[in-house]
Amino acid sequence: MSYADPPAPRALQLGETPPAASGNTLLIPDGQPTAWVFNPEYQRLVDLWKQVMPEMERITKLLEQPYTMARSAETWDAPVAKRYVEQISEWRTRIGLYRQAVLTAISDEAADTPRWVPSNAGAPHAYS
């Protein structure tokens, strides 16, 4: 069974730099340039996605073999087999909905979380 998963949060790429801003957007109220860091909250979502995806794949695959075997006439041919296949099919649907809900929640949160945030540490200050 395949799924159309929502987009995953993008991890920090090698050589990726903070967004370049123009004009006064680089200055904070005290006139010092802003230093940027990769948002730790966004990184947490990237790590969460990487942790959840293998489990979602494992759970999804757990029902594939019983479902395939139950549908085979060689396994059994009785009215109870049809009910068993229907139950497994229902569980597959539930797992798909659960997968979609979890991954969408992570993806939506990542879409609402900035990748880069201003950092107070490391910003140059004239009289530190």
Q: Which of 27, 31, 94 minimizes the C-alpha distance to 60?
A: 94
Structure tokens at 75: 């396994």
Residue listed under structure tokens 């649907």: 93
- pLDDT tens, position by position, for the chain (128 residues)? 667 899 999 999 998 888 775 555 555 555 566 678 899 999 999 999 999 999 999 998 888 888 888 887 777 777 777 888 899 899 999 999 999 999 999 999 999 999 988 876 554 444 44
